[in-house]
């Protein structure tokens, strides 16, 4: 199996975040409704990650570590773009990535929003490869501008996944570059629209278009709201079919082994 395929297999395993064992139906195409609030959301399941499958069953992904990353984020409190709390999280993410040996790049910018101009920052861990193509794994790390919304699921869960993947992948060298990207400003400041949302990803797309890096992306996989218990993911219908087919074949081959037992 090539490095990109191994990477995708680990990602498929990782998407059923810490403390969750997958019990999907035969087709695996049924999606559950994701929670919309933060740490106070509960399905009555254990919240400490003790039933996370061991790393040897997931290609090295440590569910307990990922769960602890979610708890760390929640500890900062609500983290909307431009807040003091998200500033703390930005520093934490960068320190974590550096401790894993990642090459970390940041892009600090300001964005005009319905509540005024806000400082934002995209964070990228770049893993070298032999070819110039880029596989991008991404999440956002900001939370909704909503009182007491601490975002354990949105976006704590996917940020925990990407931090754990960075720990696994930064020491490696593969066929293609891997960029693990943490976007700021995904959430709307008032009401979701093309203009009020996805500030960080639009910033990065524009910069990559100007630098000539945009055509180098071979695959882009976005994780968001992946902490639902039990995790079930509906087959994507709006993305590149060949990539969706690859992920789903890996899912069939690996996911049940990752979370059986």
Residues 6+ apart with CB under 8 A from 226: 15, 16, 17, 153, 157, 158, 161, 233
3-state DSSP call for residue 101? coil
**Angstrom distances, CA of residue 124 to CA of 13, 107, 186, 257:** 22, 9, 15, 30
Catalytic residue (choose from 96, 121, 153, 186):
186
Of the candidates 126, 79, 80, which has an alpha carbon nearest to the alpha carbon of residue 107?
126
Catalytic annotation present for 142: no
C-alpha 134/C-alpha 140 separation (Å) is 19
Catalytic annotation present for 105: no
Hunting for tokens 């590149």 — which residue is that?
A: 240
Catalytic residue (choose from 51, 107, 213, 224):
224
Active site residues: 186, 224
């Amino acid at each position: 199996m090539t490095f990109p395929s191994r990477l995708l297999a680990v990602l498929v395993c990782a998407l059923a975040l810490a403390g969750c064992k997958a019990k999907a139906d035969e087709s695996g195409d049924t999606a559950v409704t994701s929670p919309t609030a933060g740490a106070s959301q509960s399905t009555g399941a254990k919240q400490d990650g003790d039933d996370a499958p061991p790393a040897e069953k997931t290609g090295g992904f440590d569910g307990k570590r990922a769960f602890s990353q979610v708890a760390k984020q929640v500890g900062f409190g609500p983290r909307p773009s431009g807040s003091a709390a998200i500033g703390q999280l930005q520093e934490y993410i960068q320190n974590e990535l550096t401790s894993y040996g990642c090459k970390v790049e940041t892009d600090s910018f300001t964005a005009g929003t319905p509540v005024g101009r806000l400082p934002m920052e995209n964070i990228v861990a770049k893993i070298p490869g032999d070819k110039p193509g880029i596989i991008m794994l991404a999440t956002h790390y900001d939370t909704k501008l909503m009182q007491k919304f601490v975002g354990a699921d949105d976006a704590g869960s996917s940020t925990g996944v990407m931090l754990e993947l960075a720990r696994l992948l930064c020491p490696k060298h593969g066929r293609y570059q891997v960029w693990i990207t943490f976007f700021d400003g995904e959430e709307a400041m008032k009401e979701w629209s093309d203009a009020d949302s996805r500030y960080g990803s639009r910033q990065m797309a524009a910069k990559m278009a100007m630098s000539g890096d945009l055509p180098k992306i071979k695959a882009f996989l976005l994780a968001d709201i992946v902490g639902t218990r039990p995790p079930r993911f509906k087959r994507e219908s709006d993305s590149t079919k060949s990539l969706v087919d690859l992920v789903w074949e890996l899912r069939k081959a690996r996911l049940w082994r990752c979370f059986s037992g």
